[in-house]
Structure 1
Amino acid sequence: MSENFKKIRRRVWLLLNIGVALWVLLGVLCLQVPPHKFWPAGFIAFSLPGALALNILFLFYWLLRRSWFVALPLALILLGWNYYERLVSINTADQTPEAGAKTLQVLSFNTHVFNAYADQDGNVRQASMDMVDWVATHPADVLCLQEFYSNRGSSIYNTVNKIGTRYDRYRFFSVSYVDRSKADIGIVIFSKYPITGKGVIRFGESNHNRAIWTDLNVKGDTIRVYTAHLQSMSIKSQDIENTYSAIGDKDTFNKEGRNLARRLRKGFIARSNQVEILLEHIRESPYPVIVCGDLNDIPFSYTYNELAEELTNAFVEAGTGVGATYNGPLPFLRIDNQFYSKELKAYDFITHQEMGLSDHYPISAKYEILPKGAQPQ
């Protein structure tokens, strides 16, 4: 191989690497841009994981070539390490608090109405009962449940009684919809600690998507817990299958692709508005906060980024691995989260993949309530 060809090849790879670096920088910039003001920013930010992964590949490429150009991807990794932590979390140190510390365990779970609407012929009844029992017997102090379903006339789906009353839990249930069987659907917080304050945050005209908050008296300290259910991605597995199956048919593929793009754009815009309403309320809280729920957005989104700039993400600080929470056809999506304020410290974060009966995996974290004036380590 001639020296000229080697030089040309190296320049091409360097230009590609520079292109990926610019892609990363543009993606990071777009995380700051509200999609309701400039919706293409949502798509560019959404593509950021691909750019970060390619940058890793260039790192290994230049290492194998023993080229000083390795400095480019390495510098990008070092400068953007907090974005890589959103992809994969590595926490090996023992974070367990000292004996006697005040702690609080919080579970967040989109229950997918306990699959009640898939139970028309009784085929999934046992799975629904298993899901209700799993939630009811979970040892968490606080249960934050989205797409919660309760039917007082049903022996199986009387979940307010099975999860709350039976275990002497306090509750705040905000009902967004009552179906034909008079079942209540909405968002709920169950707590073993007394609720001293509560409220609903409505997102404009949206009825189904909302957030609720409760002030909990935790052994003398007041902690405000939010749980939110933001605008859905509105993408079903059939939509993805239709797009894949249309590969090779240009007209059908373009049609399905445009359909997916429209739904993504609608979601980006709605959630960017909703997170701003939520944050406005959080900023006014007089107490330490824990914010959890189904964000329906990945860590590379305006929604997640706005929360991460003001609060700490429990998975990043205390989780391990990829932490995917979506139990569907798109792998590696982490769309359920817990965030918390500086007066707390997270440890023992778990993504409960053993509970695979919903389209979301539950997540739980334990929190140490730091003494007043103390700073997290």
Structure 2
Amino acid sequence: MAATFKKIRRRVWLILNTLVVLWMVVGVLCVQVPPSTFWPAGFIAMSLPGALVFNLLFLIYWLLRRSWLLVLPLSALMLGWEYYGRLLAINFENEVPEGAKTLQVLSFNTHIFNAYNKIVEGVPQVSNDMVDWVATHPADVFCLQEFYSRVNSVEFNNFNRIGTRYGKYKFASTSVGDRIKADLGIVIFSKYPIVQGNTIRFQNTPERSANRAAWADIDVEGDTVRVYAVHLQSMSIKSEDIENTYSAIGDEESFKKESRNVARRLKGGFIARDNQVQQLLEHIRESPYPVIVCGDFNDIPFSYTYHQLAKELGNAFVEAGNGVGATYNGPLPFLRIDNQFYSPGLKPYAFETHYEMGLSDHFPISATYVLEPKATE
């Protein structure tokens, strides 16, 4: 009887493990499918982290059982190794080569420095703390999304407080946004001269939309690096939407309504970012200089958007970061939706997610790059 039960249990676990491997395979395939062609692929791709984790648990289970069946999850792990690297980064600290030319880049969705957040007690102090933190950060280049500045305000004159006061060069891609003529958008600050810059306005996106990309050619002591600051289409999901969905569990009708609302917004975001990343990549391919592409991509590492960028560019977190690198400061944990990508000619030696700055709905990220000598040098 015991032997029969053991055989049945083994067969059940094998079937479950096989289903997880199939889940992984389908998820990996869906990561490569444009949502504009088949939008359900975006939802399946989002579930890929679950398959990766379950496959790892099966590997441990078969290992503890000392069963040859560990070959199944082990093979899946090896085939999906790239995706495990996107889930969890493990890197040892490398010393920057002596005499190397470096560039430290900070990227931060500042959430308009909470200028409109009337709910938070002590908003002026919160905003001041955020601005001061950014202004005094030792980075060489700052890529700020959802930037906000008002010329006639001591508190919110952030072009001055972050840039002019510290002698930084800037390229601003902003629109006049409210009744008091504030500038909102993307701004690139640099301690090195900005040779030129421009805006990439995404198709089918309103001209004043915050979703855009800005680029600037920066002269780093004789070498030029093109830096992109990107803000792709938002998921358009607020904290209240997630909380409402959680609270609706148990109420079938309410849960269906809230779930459909979230799913509809996710679908729209998948399709919009599909088009935006293609337009962005077309511009990147034409760059005559090494590029750093950073910002708020509003998509996880198991998305079509991320995959398209990762096919052509390295990712600083994967190569130099550690842990899960979550950048979303909201009710959904472990989401890494802010990234820094880079092209050949650059090498990241350090990456940090700044959890000490938790006043926005995103955590800032910074990376230090070494500009590799040109082949002719």
Is TM-score (shorter-chain normalized) higher than 0.5?
Answer: yes
Q: Percent identity?
A: 69
Q: Which amino acid aligns with 2:116?
A: Y
Q: CA deviation at 1:208?
A: 2.3
Map of 1:169-180 to 2, 5 A cutoff? Answer: 169-180=168-179
2:189 aligned counterpart, secondary structure? strand
* Contact 1:177–1:208 (CA under 8 A) maintained in structure 2: no
Q: CA deviation at 1:177?
A: 4.3
Q: Which amino acid aligns with 1:109?
A: F
Q: Which amino acid aligns with 2:267?
A: R
Q: Which residue of 1 aligns with 2:291?
A: 289
Q: CA deviation at 1:120?
A: 8.0
Q: Which amino acid aligns with 2:294?
A: C
Cα deviation 1:218-265 (Å, max 9, x = unaligned): 010010000100000111111111111111111111111111110111
Gaps of 5+ in 2: none
2:304 is matched with which residue: 302, 326, 335?
302
Q: In the aligned structure 2, how far is the partner of 1:120 from the partner of 1:349?
A: 33
Q: In the aligned structure 1, how far is the partner of 2:364 from the partner of 2:271?
A: 26
Q: In the aligned structure 2, how far is the partner of 1:196 from the partner of 1:75?
A: 49
Q: In the aligned structure 2, how far is the partner of 1:170 from the partner of 1:217?
A: 11
Q: Which amino acid aligns with 2:355?
A: Q
Q: Which residue of 2 aligns with 1:143?
A: 142
Q: In the aligned structure 1, how far is the partner of 2:145 from the partner of 2:103?
A: 20
Q: Which amino acid aligns with 2:360?
A: S
Q: Which amino acid aligns with 2:162?
A: I
Q: In the aligned structure 2, how far is the partner of 1:121 from the partner of 1:201?
A: 33
Cα deviation 1:33-73 (Å, max 9, x = unaligned): 11011101100111000000110111111112221101111
Q: Which residue of 2 aligns with 1:18?
A: 18
Q: In the aligned structure 2, how far is the partner of 1:70 from the partner of 1:39?
A: 34
Q: CA deviation at 1:119?
A: 4.4
Q: In the aligned structure 1, how far is the partner of 2:252 from the partner of 2:138?
A: 52
Q: Which amino acid aligns with 1:370?
A: E
Cα deviation 1:2-37 (Å, max 9, x = unaligned): 322221221111111111101101111111111011
Whether 2:227 is the aligned partner of 1:225: answer: yes
Coordinate RMSD, CA, aligned? 1.3
Q: CA deviation at 1:122?
A: 7.0
Whether 2:213 is the aligned partner of 1:211: answer: yes
More deviation in 99-108 or 63-72? Answer: 63-72
Q: Which residue of 1 aligns with 2:66?
A: 66
* Contact 1:119–1:125 (CA under 8 A) maintained in structure 2: no
Q: In the aligned structure 1, how far is the partner of 2:22 from the partner of 2:120?
A: 54
Whether 2:354 is the aligned partner of 1:348: answer: no
Whether 2:45 is the aligned partner of 1:53: answer: no
Q: In the aligned structure 2, how far is the partner of 1:312 from the partner of 1:327?
A: 24
Q: Which amino acid aligns with 1:104?
A: L
1:364 aligned counterpart, secondary structure? strand
Q: Which amino acid aligns with 2:199?
A: V
Map of 1:42-121 to 2, 5 A cutoff? Answer: 42-92=42-92, 94-119=93-118
Whether 2:193 is the aligned partner of 1:191: answer: no
Whether 2:373 is the aligned partner of 1:365: answer: no
Q: Which amino acid aligns with 1:103?
A: T
Cα deviation 1:288-324 (Å, max 9, x = unaligned): 0000000000000000000000000000000011110
TM-score, with structure 1 as normaliser: 0.97
Q: CA deviation at 1:181?
A: 1.4
Cα deviation 1:189-230 (Å, max 9, x = unaligned): 001111112111111131321001000110100100001000
Q: In the aligned structure 1, how far is the partner of 2:176 from the partner of 2:211?
A: 11
With over 3 angstroms needed to count, the CA separation of the structure-2 counterparts of 1:55 and 1:120, relative to structure 1, is closer
Q: In the aligned structure 2, how far is the partner of 1:368 from the partner of 1:309?
A: 21
Q: In the aligned structure 2, how far is the partner of 1:294 from the partner of 1:26?
A: 27
Q: Which amino acid aligns with 2:281?
A: L
Aligned pairs, number: 373
TM-score, with structure 2 as normaliser: 0.97
Q: Which residue of 1 aligns with 2:6?
A: 6
* Contact 1:148–1:186 (CA under 8 A) maintained in structure 2: yes
Q: Which residue of 2 aligns with 1:155?
A: 154
Q: In the aligned structure 1, how far is the partner of 2:158 from the partner of 2:111?
A: 13
* Contact 1:91–1:319 (CA under 8 A) maintained in structure 2: yes
Whether 2:51 is the aligned partner of 1:35: answer: no
More deviation in 28-37 or 170-179? Answer: 170-179
Q: Which amino acid aligns with 1:138?
A: H
Q: Which amino acid aligns with 2:143?
A: C
Q: Which amino acid aligns with 1:320?
A: N
Q: Which amino acid aligns with 2:211?
A: N
